[in-house]
């Protein structure tokens, strides 16, 4: 008995170390390797600050095999058109100073890894910034050009390029220090039951993920795949646009893309995905 | 003057005037007019009811996409009486505190009430999701769900 216990215990421990997700009742097919060369973490142990889950999952794991397949090869991923458009923009000079993004950042690949830590506290601005806000800071303050509208395709494409060059990097958004207050604001929003239907983000994406709500298979509502190309509207969609849609569907007055409320919500939701890979631009329903 | 009103013309009970039992039921009809089963069945699928977004109902299996957020409603009339079903449809939170199920005969207060599904702010007072007669119709339909199809 004692001998059995010892070796059994060691074997069980080894199993846990090799497969940290064993024991959770969600063993799923989670193999996503983009272009046969970029492995994507689509399932990971939940970060400590997400008490409701033991395992976090990318929205990709909830999609149909056909939709999943579109993300496995860039030739099949319609979001890549937006990435290509942003590459052209990256090299184009604009604004009073005649500079392009490339004048300062050389190539988009220079900014690899940046997406994984956004939204992020910006000391100079004294606020949490999304990647779109950071891009606009460069556009206006450094290039002397007009700000790009937060949710216009030009911005969404650039955001997609920023995700593209970070694909596979592990999301690791800071929630402490000066970002803590904004994070808490986002968390409070996540659990607020908005609108006439009185539904919170958590009602759908925490309490009911993996359930069908009418024709929709609910995911955990992660943002690691953003911007996402949606088959429903056949274009790239920003995180804030998705938030807007989800709040509208509770029969509530929404917030605007780029609003301080959505920035706070994005920080909180992004932090729930700490441990997954940057997967955007992803393909979703 | 009130003595002149015909006996059958019961006042519709306003959402704010509904009286719930301790269990969350509503003993009397909200309108005095018996519910219409066919009209109730319509509301299970469409409009502000859309109950099958969350509930499976075998009797409605000709309609696509039944949700699985709430329990299947097969046999529901054997689990609850009419008063309790009326209470659950009008405001399920009285029966199941904190439930995700929306309150259908209720007018708030809400957090950031919208103008239906436009995403804009509500214009003035918000009407209940279902009218009093809608509630009676849905309850009448639920009362027909008294068996467990296999």
DSSP string across A107-150: SGGGGTTSGGG-SEEETTTTEEE-HHHHHHHIIIIIT--PPPPT
Tell me the C-alpha distance between B32 and A74, whole Å: 63
Q: Confirm if A208 and A260 have CB atoms less than 8 A apart.
A: no
Q: Give the mean model confidence (pLDDT) for residues A30-40.
A: 94
Query: Over 80: is that where the pLDDT of A19 sits?
Result: no
Residue A170 backbone dihedrals phi, psi, to 5 degrees: -85, 125
The tokens describing A47, both together, are: 């970060």
User: Which residue ranges make up each domain of chain A?
Assistant: 37-104+124-283
Contacts of A203 in chain B (CB under 8 A): 100
A236-245, B18-27, B46-55, range with the lowest pLDDT:
B46-55
Contacts of B100 in chain A (CB under 8 A): 199, 203, 207-208
Query: Over 50: is that where the pLDDT of A17 sits?
Result: no
Query: Over 50: is that where the pLDDT of A13 sits?
Result: no
Query: Over 70: is that where the pLDDT of A20 sits?
Result: no
3-state class of A168 per DSSP?
Answer: coil
Kindly determine whether residue A208 and residue B117, on different chains, have CB atoms separated by under 8 Å: no
Residue B10 is predicted with a pLDDT of 74
Q: Confirm if A239 and A221 have CB atoms less than 8 A apart.
A: no
What band does A2 get if pLDDT is binned at 50, 70 and 90? very low
What band does A95 get if pLDDT is binned at 50, 70 and 90? confident
Query: Over 80: is that where the pLDDT of A197 sits?
Result: yes
Structural fold of domain A37-104+124-283: Cytochrome Bc1 Complex; Chain D, domain 2 (1.10.760)
Helical H segments across B72-142, by residue range: 76-79, 82-91, 132-142
Q: Give the mean model confidence (pLDDT) for residues B41-52.
A: 91
Residue B8 is predicted with a pLDDT of 58
Report pLDDT digits (tens) over A133-189. Answer: 999 999 999 999 999 999 999 999 999 999 999 999 999 999 999 999 999 999 999
Closest residue to A198, CB basis, from B54, B67, B102: B102
Contacts of A253 in chain B (CB under 8 A): 112-115, 119-122
Q: Give the mean model confidence (pLDDT) for residues A238-253.
A: 98
Q: Give the residue from B56, B57, B119, B122 with the most A CB atoms within 10 Å of its CB, the best one to mutate.
A: B119
What band does A29 get if pLDDT is binned at 50, 70 and 90? low
Residue B9 is predicted with a pLDDT of 62
Q: Nearest-CA distance from A284 to chain B in Å?
A: 19
What band does A30 get if pLDDT is binned at 50, 70 and 90? confident
What band does A7 get if pLDDT is binned at 50, 70 and 90? very low
Residue A15 is predicted with a pLDDT of 38
Kindly determine whether residue A214 and residue B52, on different chains, have CB atoms separated by under 8 Å: yes
Catalytic residues of A: 246
Q: Give the mean model confidence (pLDDT) for residues A213-227.
A: 97
């Amino acid at each position: 008995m004692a001998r059995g216990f010892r070796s059994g215990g060691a074997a069980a421990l080894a199993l846990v170390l090799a497969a940290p997700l064993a024991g959770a009742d969600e063993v799923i097919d989670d193999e996503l390797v983009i272009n046969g060369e970029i492995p994507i973490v689509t399932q990971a142990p939940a970060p400590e600050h997400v008490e409701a889950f033991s395992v976090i999952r990318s929205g990709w794991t909830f999609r149909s095999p056909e939709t999943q397949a579109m993300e496995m090869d860039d030739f099949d991923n319609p979001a890549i058109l937006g990435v290509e458009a942003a590459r052209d923009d990256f090299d184009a000079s604009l604004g009073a100073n005649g500079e392009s993004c490339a004048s300062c950042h050389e190539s988009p690949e220079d900014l690899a890894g940046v997406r994984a830590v956004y939204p992020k506290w910006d000391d100079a601005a004294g606020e949490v910034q999304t990647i779109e806000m950071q891009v606009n800071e460069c556009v206006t303050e450094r290039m002397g050009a007009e700000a790009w509208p937060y949710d216009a395709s030009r911005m969404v494409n650039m955001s997609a390029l920023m995700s593209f060059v970070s694909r596979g990097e592990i999301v690791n958004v800071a929630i402490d220090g000066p970002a803590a207050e904004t994070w808490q604001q986002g968390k409070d929003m996540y659990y607020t039951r908005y609108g006439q239907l009185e539904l919170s983000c958590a009602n759908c994406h925490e309490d009911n993920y993996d359930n069908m709500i009418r024709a929709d298979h609910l995911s955990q509502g992660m943002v690691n795949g953003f911007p996402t190309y949606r088959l429903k509207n056949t274009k790239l969609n920003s995180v804030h646009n998705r938030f807007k849609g989800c709040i509208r569907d509770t029969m509530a007055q929404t917030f605007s893309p780029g609003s301080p409320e959505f920035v706070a919500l994005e920080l909180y939701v992004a932090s729930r995905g700490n441990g997954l890979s940057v997967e955007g631009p992803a393909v979703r329903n | 003057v009130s003595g002149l009103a015909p006996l059958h013309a019961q006042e519709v009970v306003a959402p704010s005037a509904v009286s719930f039992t301790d269990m969350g039921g509503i003993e009397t009809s909200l309108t005095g007019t018996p519910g219409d089963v066919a009209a109730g069945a319509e509301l299970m699928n469409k409009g502000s009811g859309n109950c099958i977004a969350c509930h499976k109902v075998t009797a409605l299996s000709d309609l696509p996409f039944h949700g699985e957020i709430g329990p299947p409603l097969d046999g529901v009339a054997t689990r609850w009486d009419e008063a309790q079903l009326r209470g659950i449809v009008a405001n399920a939170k009285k029966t199941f505190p904190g439930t995700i199920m929306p309150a259908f005969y209720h007018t708030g207060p809400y957090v950031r009430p919208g103008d239906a599904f436009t995403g804009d702010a509500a214009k003035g007072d918000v009407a209940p999701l279902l009218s009093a007669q809608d509630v009676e119709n849905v309850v009448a339909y639920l009362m027909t769900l008294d068996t467990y199809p296999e």
